[in-house]
Amino acid sequence: MRFLPALGVLVISGLLGWFAVSTNAPGSFPIKLGLDLAGGTELIYRADTSSLTEDKQGALNSLRDVIDRRVNLFGVAEPLVELERSSAVAGAEEDRLIVELPGVTDVQAAVDAIGKTPTLEFRIASDEIASGTPVFVPTGLTGRYVKKADLQFGSASGAGVNEPIVVLTFNDEGSELFETLTRENIGRTLAIYLDGEPISTPVIRETIAGGTATISGNFSPTEGRELVRNLNFGALPVPIELVSSNTVGATLGANAFEAGLVASVIGFALVALFMIVWYRLPGLVASVALVIYVLITIAVIKGVPITLTASGIAGFILSIGMAVDANILIFERMKEEIRRGLGGREAVRIGFSRAWPAIRDGHLTMLISSVILFWMGTSIVQGFALVFGFGVIASLISAVFVSRVFLLAIVPEETTSTWRFLLEAGFGKRTHTDT
């Protein structure tokens, strides 16, 4: 019966190995590589929020969602779009939008993928007169509140039979704002601005309910279709400006991935060699447990999925050290019990029991550290923290559970001098007496 748990672990390990090997095909569970490994382009945009008086964070969140939706519509694989608060010149802070496009190595193509999505806003004519022109002021109603846009012909009041017009449909919040705006400003001009330029200046004749507005900018059908397409892709709630770009070539990324893979294999091999030479049979068991640890980690990376970066590989290698550290604590405790003259299986039980508090506390502190790094770090740090955190959990499973199951299945209750040699560590003089 003592072999059943070990047999179950072997079966599960075999399934994990099958999953790791058989899920590399496209459309399955391939390992997703980050920008620094797969190659690609990083674009950093500055968001101009100077005109926002309220709900700044909501506008920035809408900006991120719009860009994310637009990048996906252009077919870029596995994009990353995130907001970042950064320090600029003289210690001032600015809002930035980070766009990572794995596989896109042409900067111009990447910029085109983002596109010059129009910034749409409604401005009302003020009472002030400057040089004979009415002054238009922002109303707070922008493209952020646009739900969709449609192209129609000659259906607007005053439009010609074949004149294209764009009909905007607002979301619920935008509908309320538009209705309030038209109700409170009857008789005044409501200008529709696109990218800072007025494209239509209708006069409000009545309260408009229902959440629709029309744009008749004397444009051609082709221009109208382009405008509708851009607005449906998402009118930007705030203007953005490209401030920097960075491209990692596919070859360079492949070299970085290969170097990380080689480092992982060498690190694993050296750790396994040390464990086997110094700790003998328990070291061999620990090496098998490390293989299972690797399979668990690969399964998590594929199944979650986690985008693997160079910093993530570093976190993976470091977590291997955590798994070995736990095994060393256990085996040193076992060695003490063996030298006291206890039987093999009893020494295994007591060794694991006495090492557990130190292992638990060490892994818990590492998990707390990884959570803090993921919560407060940049995307590079987050890649490290995520893989390291999952690796710590996997190493805890492999060190405490897998190693214990295998040792209890192999080691006999009564130990001969040969078994004592196999279960001890190092090459110093033994202090116990054989029984």
3-state secondary structure 225-242: HHHHHHHHHHCCCCCEEE
pLDDT mean over 294-300: 84
Q: What is 3-33+249-423's CATH topology?
A: Multidrug efflux transporter AcrB transmembrane fold (1.20.1640)
| Contact assessment for residue 84 and residue 380, using Cβ atoms and an 8 Å cutoff | no
Banded pLDDT at 90 (limits 50, 70, 90): very low
Report phi then psi at 378, rounded to 5: -80, 180
Choose the CATH number for 120-240 among 1.10.287.610, 3.40.50.720, 3.20.20.120, 3.30.1360.200: 3.30.1360.200
Question: Average pLDDT, stretch 338-350?
Answer: 84
- Answer whether residue 414 shows pLDDT above 70: yes
| pLDDT in the model for residue 180 | 92
| pTM given for the model | 0.60
In the predicted model, what is the mean pLDDT of the chain? 79
> Stretch 232-260: mean pLDDT, rounded?
76
Task: Report cis status (omega within 30 of 0) of the bond before 79.
Answer: no
- Is the predicted pLDDT of residue 434 greater than 50, yes or no? no
Flag whether pLDDT at 345 surpasses 70: yes
38-52, 176-190, 261-275, 343-357: which has the minimum mean pLDDT? 38-52
Provide the Cα torsion 227, 231, 236, 242; round to 10°. -50
Structural tokens at position 315 = 């976190």
Residue 6 has pLDDT above 50, yes or no: yes
| Domain 38-114 -> CATH class | alpha beta
Percent of the chain with pLDDT over 70: 85
- Asked whether residue 128 carries a pLDDT value surpassing 60, the answer given is no
Q: Output the six-digit token pair for 232.
A: 């449906």
Would you mind telling me the total number of residues written for the chain in this entry?
435
Domain spans in the chain, listed from the N-terminal domain onward: 3-33+249-423, 38-114, 120-240
| Rounded CA separation 251/239 (Å) | 35
Give the pLDDT of residue 129.
47
- Residues 99-125 have pLDDT tens digits of 888 777 777 777 776 766 667 788 998
**Mean pLDDT of the 192-204 span:** 79
pLDDT for the residue numbered 113: 66
For the stretch 265-284, pLDDT in tens is 888 888 889 888 888 888 88
Paired with 167 in beta bridges are: 150, 214
pLDDT band at 435 (very low <50, low <70, confident <90, very high): very low
pLDDT of residue 433: 45
Query: Of the ranges 213-217, 238-242, 269-273, which one carries the lowest mean pLDDT score?
Result: 213-217
- pLDDT at 291 exceeding the cut of 70: yes
Per-residue pLDDT, 422: 80
When pLDDT is cut at 50, 70 and 90, the band that residue 130 belongs to is very low
Pair of tokens at residue 150: 């449609």
Of 87-91, 329-333, 340-344, 371-375, the least confident:
87-91
pLDDT at 185 over 60: yes
Contacts of 336 (CB under 8 A, 6+ apart): 351
Confidence at residue 242, expressed as pLDDT on a 0 to 100 scale: 86
The predicted structure's pLDDT at residue 133: 60
